[in-house]
Amino acid sequence: MGFLEPHVGHRRGDDEGEVTVRVLVTGAAGFIGYHVAEALLARGGEVIGVDNLNDYYDVALKEARLDALWAHTNFSFHKFNIADKEAMLPLAKTGITHIVHLAAQAGVRYSLENPYAYAESNVMGQVVMQELARATPNLAHFVYASSSSVYGGNSKIPFAVEDPVLRPISLYAATKRADELMAYTYAHLFRIPMTGLRFFTVYGPWGRPDMATYIFTKQILAGEPIKVFNHGKMKRDFTYIDDIVAGVLGALEKPPVATPGEAPCALYNLGNSQAENLMDFIAVMEKALSKKAVIDFQPLQPGDVPETFADITASTRDFGFKPVTGIEQGIPKFVEWYRGYHKA
C-alpha cells in the first residue's frame, strides 16, 4: 500500500477509519522542502507546511516558493520556529500521519560565524520535532534531513552509511550527526519509525542562493570572478532535486520495522553516486550560459572537504532509489529557471 493511499488510524471527530495522508513538512519554504511539498500535493496528499522564513538568504525567494504551494487547496502553512515547543507541539493534534522534517540552519561556512543558530535549529529543533512525533497518535513515519557533511574528513570513497562518522570537521556536520543519534534514541525508547537521509550537494530550480550553482550562475552572467576553492581540486556528488524528491518519497513509503534487539531506525545516502570534478561542473555551466567564467582560485576553506561521493547501495535496495539526472541535463534546467525567475 502506497503511503498516499487511505489507511486506518487516526480518529477524526466521531469517526474512525480511512484517513487521508496528512504530512507535516518543515522547511516548506526552503529548497528541498518546497519540492517535496509540491510532489506530495500533486499526488493528492494533504500538506501542513512549517517555516520561520528567516533571512539566512533572500526571503522573497522563500515567499515565492510558498506562493506556488498556496495554489493547492490541500496546503496549509504555519510561520513557526521549529525550536519553539509552545508553537510546534499543538500540531500533534492536527491529524498528522507522517512527518518530513527538513527545516534546519544550513551551510558549512556560516556555522563558523553563527554557531548559536545551529544549536537552536538543528539540535533544539530536532528535539522539539521528535517530541512532536512522540505526541502524535499513530504516526506512521518520521523522515528527517541529515547531510553528507557527517562523513567529515573520511578518506574512504565512496561514503557508505556503515562508515564511522566520529570526526565532523564543521559545527554544521556535528549538529547533523547529533540529529542522527537523537533519532535513534527516540526510535529505541518510543518505537517511532525514524529515517535519516544524508543529502549530497543538491541543486536545481528554486535552489538556495548560498550554493555554488546559484552563486556561479549569478557571477558568470555578471562577468564577476567566481571563487573556486582548493584551487579547483574538488569533487562533489551533485544531485538533481527531482532525484532527491524521488528518494525522499521512496523512503517515506518504507518506514523501518523494529526487529528483536533493533530500533525502527534507518539511515540512507541520497546522492547521484557520481563524484564530479568541480572544474567539469563549471565547464557545463559555461556551456549552458554561453559565457566563460572568470576564475579566482582559492585555498580549501575551513570545514570544507575536497570530495563527496555517495554509496547508495542501501537506498537502492530498500526503496528503489535510482538517480537519473546528470549535470549535463540538470545544470541547463537550473539555468533556464534562473533566467526566468530573475529575468536574466
Per-position b or e across 76-110, b if 16+ CB within 10 A of its CB: bbbebbbbebebbbebbeebbbbbbbbbbbbbbeb
- Phi and psi at 153, nearest 5°, equal -95, 20
What's the pLDDT score for residue 56?
94
What's the pLDDT score for residue 12?
32
Burial class of residue 287, CB neighbours in 10 A (0-12, 13-18, 19+): middle
What's the pLDDT score for residue 92?
98
What's the pLDDT score for residue 85?
98
Query: Looking at this protein, which amino acid is placed at residue 177?
Result: R
CA distance 189 to 321: 29
Cell (9 digits) for 165? 562518522
Of 188, 87, 99, 93, whose CA–CA distance to 137 is shortest? 93
CA angle 242, 149, 268 (to 5 degrees): 55
pLDDT tens digits for 114-144? 999 999 999 999 999 999 999 999 999 999 9
Query: Looking at this protein, which amino acid is placed at residue 101?
Result: H
CA distance 113 to 87: 28
CA distance 305 to 154: 9
| Cα 139–chain centre separation | 21
* Active-site residue, selected from the candidate residues 172, 186, 203, 214: 172
Cell (9 digits) for 193? 519509525
Q: Is 151 a catalytic residue?
A: no
pTM for this entry: 0.93
Please report where in the chains the cell 528535539 appears, as a residue. 127
**How many CA atoms are closer than 13 Å to the CA of 199, on its beta-carbon side?**
25
Cis peptide before 158 (omega within 30 of 0): yes
What's the pLDDT score for residue 261?
87
CA distance 124 to 200: 24
- Phi and psi at 85, nearest 5°, equal -65, -30
CA distance 86 to 91: 10
Query: Looking at this protein, which amino acid is placed at residue 260?
Result: P
CA distance 336 to 338: 5
What's the pLDDT score for residue 158?
95
What's the pLDDT score for residue 5?
52
Q: What is the mean pLDDT of each run of 10 residues along the chain (344 residues)?
A: 45 47 98 98 97 96 98 97 98 98 91 94 98 97 97 91 94 96 98 97 97 96 95 93 98 95 96 93 97 94 84 97 97 98 93
Question: If you ran DSSP here, which 8-state letter would residue 122 be given?
Answer: I
CA distance 98 to 245: 16
Can you list the domains of the chain with their CATH numbers?
7-202+241-271+309-323 (3.40.50.720)
With DSSP H G I counted as helix, E B as strand and the rest as coil, what are the percentages for the chain, rounded to 5? 40, 20, 40
pLDDT tens digits for 152-169? 989 899 999 999 999 999
